[in-house]
């Protein structure tokens, strides 16, 4: 089931699926700071996109937590992969919320700067990095809603969630957050 809300002139979507199969301009990767590939979303994107993505990551060398970098998408249908580095969750008291929001903002700014009109995100930080799903969803959706309100050049952001639980949590948070944060004409 797809959930869609309009944010100004942009659209925010929630879907369950495989991020590597999305027909968008840019796919966001849940990367590690070394840009060394890994498991989960990171591994899936590297496997599906081929060795050109890893070669581009190696040329960049790394990316600080809370930031993002852009590479080719290899054989994926997207034009680019934006590698965003979420924080490893300790207890939420060591800057994790700000770093997670910063990773989303950095990825969105790259999308805007690169002229990418459609972008697909996973739920950053909620896999191996252990960020609690509901807290991460609030940060992710709030950050994206705020960004879209002031950057209409990004026309569509799609969160591609891996399982029923993640989709349900994001849907609930979106129902709570979107009416209070919506920008532009209603």
Is residue 21 one of the residues assigned to a domain? yes
**CATH number of the domain encompassing residue 141:** 3.40.220.10
- What does the pLDDT average to over 1-6? 88
Is 77 among the domain residues? Answer: yes
| Catalytic residue from among 18, 42, 146, 164 | 42
Q: What is the 3-state secondary structure (H, E, C) of the chain?
A: CCEEEEECCEEEEEEECCHHHCCCCEEEEEECCCCCCCCHHHHHHHHHHCHHHHHHHHHHCCCCCCCEEEEECCCCCCCEEEEEECCCCCCCCCCHHHHHHHHHHHHHHHHHHCCCCEEEECCCCCCCCCCCHHHHHHHHHHHHHHHHHHCCCCCEEEEEECCHHHHHHHHHHHHHHHHHHCCCCC
Residue at token pair 């790394």: 62
Residue 109 inside a domain? The answer is yes
Does residue 42 carry a catalytic annotation?
Answer: yes
Please indicate, yes or no, if residue 129 is contained in any of the structural domains: yes
pLDDT at position 2? 85
The answer to whether residue 77 scores a pLDDT higher than 90 is yes
**Alpha-carbon dihedral sign for residues 81, 53, 83, 43:** positive
Number of domains in the chain: 1
Answer positive or negative: Cα dihedral of 127, 23, 117, 165: negative
Asked whether residue 170 is domain-assigned, the answer is: yes
User: Region 107-132: what's the mean pLDDT?
Assistant: 97
Whether residue 62 is contained in a domain is answered as: yes
Computed over every residue of the chain, the mean pLDDT equals 94
Asked whether residue 47 is domain-assigned, the answer is yes
Above pLDDT 70, what percent of the chain?
96
* pLDDT for the residue 180: 61
Q: Do the domain assignments include residue 186? A: no
- pTM equals 0.95
pLDDT computed for residue 1 by the predictor? 72
Residue 99 has pLDDT above 90, yes or no: yes
Domain that holds residue 50: 3-181
Please write the tens of the pLDDT for every residue from 148-184: 999 999 999 999 999 999 999 999 999 998 766 544 4
CB 136 within 8 A of CB 125: yes
């Amino acid at each position: 089931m797809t959930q869609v809300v309009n944010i100004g002139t942009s659209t925010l979507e929630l879907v369950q699926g495989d991020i590597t199969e999305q027909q968008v301009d840019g796919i966001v990767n849940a990367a590690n700071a070394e840009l060394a590939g890994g498991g989960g979303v990171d591994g899936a994107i590297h496997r599906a996109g081929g060795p050109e993505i890893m070669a581009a990551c190696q040329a960049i060398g790394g990316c600080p937590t809370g930031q993002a970098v852009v590479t080719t998408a290899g054989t994926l249908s997207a034009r680019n992969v934006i590698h965003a580095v979420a924080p490893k969750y300790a207890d939420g008291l060591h800057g994790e919320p700000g770093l997670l929001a910063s990773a989303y903002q950095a990825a969105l700014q790259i999308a805007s700067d690169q002229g990418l009109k459609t972008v697909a995100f996973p739920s950053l930080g909620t896999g191996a990095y252990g960020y609690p799903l509901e807290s991460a969803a609030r940060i992710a959706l709030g950050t994206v809603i705020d960004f879209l309100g002031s950057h209409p050049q990004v026309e569509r952001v799609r969160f591609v969630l891996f399982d029923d639980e993640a989709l349900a949590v994001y849907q609930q948070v979106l129902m709570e957050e979107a009416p209070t944060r919506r920008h532009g004409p209603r």
